[in-house]
């Protein structure tokens, strides 16, 4: 029996199932990989926002990581909500010992505007975590938070990418979903440049898009794609998931991680 490629997510839990660890594992399964998890925080979360968050101790994060990596092994690791300087530094230290690709989604705020990363952790993200990344996938708010660069139009995305690459990741994917017009992203390593465009769907139920995209990239990397190939495939997957996003509760519903199964 064939063992599927193994992908590890290091992130927080979303009790509503739309983002975080839950979105990561759904995406990894949908794309043919075996997802595993290191839980960094528990949130009380629903379609209206985050009602509470409880960080796990750094030793619990380290123990989960070692349990999975030392026995099962990984082909790719993806990070999401890390919340505090101590957890960021712990995860960065663990990742620095890996040769496998690492996708860093530098989660700063939730879809509802709730803070998921302490301001005191920003320097650790810049100096410890981003240098471990094969690919960093910030949205425009996270770019501003980490670099001070404000992207107001497509032309600003090159400057944003250069600022992120300055912290050490090999590739940067600047997600332009908050701009007007088509959903455009810029992938670059400072030399190669790939612009990815998709039509914008008239659907407000987009909870979990960032987690889903980063996890889709990680799943494709685990299957042997190059970074540009993985990002292009992930963009196609998340565009379909956004199109299928559905109402859940009274607020913003999730994207549809299983849209291909219902196609």
Active-site hit among 40, 132, 134, 209: 209
Structure tokens at 21: 């660890």
Q: Which of 35, 177, 208, 245 is catalytic?
A: 208
DSSP state of 252: P
Instruction: Check: CB of residue 238 under 8 Å from CB of residue 162.
Output: no
Please indicate whether residue 253 is annotated as part of the active site.
no
Which CA distances in Å does 257 have to 19, 32, 120, 133, 233? 10, 13, 33, 25, 14
Quick check: is 211 catalytic? yes
CB atoms within 10 A of CB 230: 26
The catalytically annotated residue of 16, 80, 211, 235 is 211
26, 111, 128, 175: the catalytic one is 175
152 Cβ contact list (under 8 Å, min separation 6): none
Residues 235 and 194: their CA atoms lie apart, in Å, by: 12
Strand boundaries in 96-154, DSSP class E: 102-104, 135-136
Q: Which of 79, 132, 147, 206 is catalytic?
A: 206
Question: Which of the residues 210, 244, 245, 253 is marked catalytic?
Answer: 210
Instruction: State how far the Cα of 221 lies from the Cα of 233, in Å rounded to an integer.
Output: 10
Q: CB count, 10 Å around CB of 72?
A: 12
> Which is nearest to 79 in space by CA: 71, 68, 87?
87
Active site residue 209: yes
Does the annotation count 128 as an active-site position? no
Instruction: Answer yes or no: are the C-beta atoms of 122 and 146 closer than 8 Å.
Output: yes
Q: Give the C-alpha separation, 160 to 146, whole Å.
A: 10
Task: Compute the distance between CA of residue 40 and CA of residue 191 in angstroms, rounded to an integer.
Answer: 34
Annotated catalytic residue 132: no
Residue 108: active-site member: no
**Which residues are known to be catalytic?**
175, 206, 208-211
């Amino acid at each position: 029996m064939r063992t599927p490629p193994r992908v590890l997510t290091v992130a927080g839990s979303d009790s509503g199932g739309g983002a975080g660890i839950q979105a990561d594992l759904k995406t990894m399964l949908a794309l043919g990989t075996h997802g595993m998890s290191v839980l960094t925080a528990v949130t009380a979360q629903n379609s209206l926002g985050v009602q509470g968050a409880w960080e796990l101790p750094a030793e619990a994060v380290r123990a989960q990581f070692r349990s999975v990596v030392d026995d099962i092994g990984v082909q790719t690791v993806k990070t999401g909500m890390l919340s505090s300087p101590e957890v960021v530094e712990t995860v960065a230290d663990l990742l620095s010992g890996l040769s496998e690709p690492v996708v860093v989604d530098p989660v700063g705020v939730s879809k509802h505007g709730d803070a998921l990363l302490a301001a005191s952790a920003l320097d650790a993200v810049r100096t410890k975590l981003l240098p471990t990344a094969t690919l960093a996938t910030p949205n425009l708010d996270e770019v501003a938070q980490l670099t001070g660069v404000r992207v107001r139009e497509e032309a600003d995305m090159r400057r944003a990418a250069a600022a992120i690459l300055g912290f050490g990741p090999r590739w940067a994917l600047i997600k332009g979903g908050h701009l007007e017009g088509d959903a455009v992203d810029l992938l670059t390593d400072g030399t190669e440049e790939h612009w990815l465009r998709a039509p914008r769907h008239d659907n407000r139920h987009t909870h979990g898009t960032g987690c889903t995209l980063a996890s889709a990239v990680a799943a494709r990397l685990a299957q042997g794609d190059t970074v540009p190939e993985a990002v292009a495939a992930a963009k196609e997957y998340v565009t379909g998931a956004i199109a299928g996003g559905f109402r859940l509760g009274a607020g913003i519903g999730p994207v549809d991680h299983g849209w291909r199964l219902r196609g």
